[in-house]
Structure 1
Amino acid sequence: MEQLLSPRVNSARLGNYVAQKQPVRIVGKISNFSQKGDTALMTACDGGEVKIMLNAGHNMVDTFVEVIGTPIDPSTVRYISCTNMGANMDLKLVNDVVELTFDPKFQGRLF
């Protein structure tokens, strides 16, 4: 996966990228924003919780988003940007795709 600029991960795989400080993409459902608006809590596609450290210019408006960010620790990402994905999404399907990208039999063939 080293050739990818920002691999898609779930909450279980997020910790693998902390030491590298490599941007990742994580898809999930935003469950709430902090009162200050500087953090958001996401339920990732595998059901784990991820804290998103936001900046003042964030554009998160939909329920489901794909966040590009830098992992701070195994459960926290510093926001770089996001893609709003609407109000409905099959997170199980998203998680299945994420897991397939890490399957050795597909490395270099599809992903």
Structure 2
Amino acid sequence: MADEDREHTPRVNSARLADFIGKTIRLPCKVLKVDGERLTVEAADGGQVAVNATPNADVSDTFIEVIGKVNSPSSIQMLASISMGSDLDMKLVNDTIELIHDRRFYNRMF
């Protein structure tokens, strides 16, 4: 696959979802509620997001990273998920996300 064919999947928090509607993102989050294939998660900035999970998604850990398409400023269609264990410093994750999206650095990284 050529580099130009790869889709950039930035890490975001709930406040940044509105900037990525229709795009694929990565959302580090804490699983709050599992209701069948619907998840309620808490993003690194504390905002709640609804996630339409893939069938048989593994959400057994407290923290996961959702890779998915943004449907709206508060919902994502999961494409995949990555388990991140039961102990994650969400303040540090959010600070990192904010630095990534800072205009001083964003164009240098992406």
Normalised TM-score (structure 1): 0.88
Cα distance in structure 2, aligned partners of 1:110 and 1:6: 12
- RMSD of aligned alpha carbons: 1.5
Percent identical residues: 37
Cα distance in structure 1, aligned partners of 2:13 and 2:77: 15
The equivalent residue for 1:12 is: 15
CA deviation vs aligned residue, 1:40-78 (integer Å, no higher than 9, x gap): 100100000001101213122210001001011100000
Query: Which structure 1 segments of 5+ residues have no match?
Result: none
CA drift at 1:110: 4.3
The equivalent residue for 1:47 is: 46
The equivalent residue for 1:64 is: 63
**Letter paired with 2:32:** S
Structure 1: 4+ residue segments shifted above 6 A: none
Query: Which structure 2 segments of 5+ residues have no match?
Result: 1-5
Residue 7 of structure 2 contacts residue 24 of structure 2 at CA under 8 Å; is this kept in 1? no
CA drift at 1:94: 0.2
Instruction: Give the length in aligned residue pairs.
Output: 105
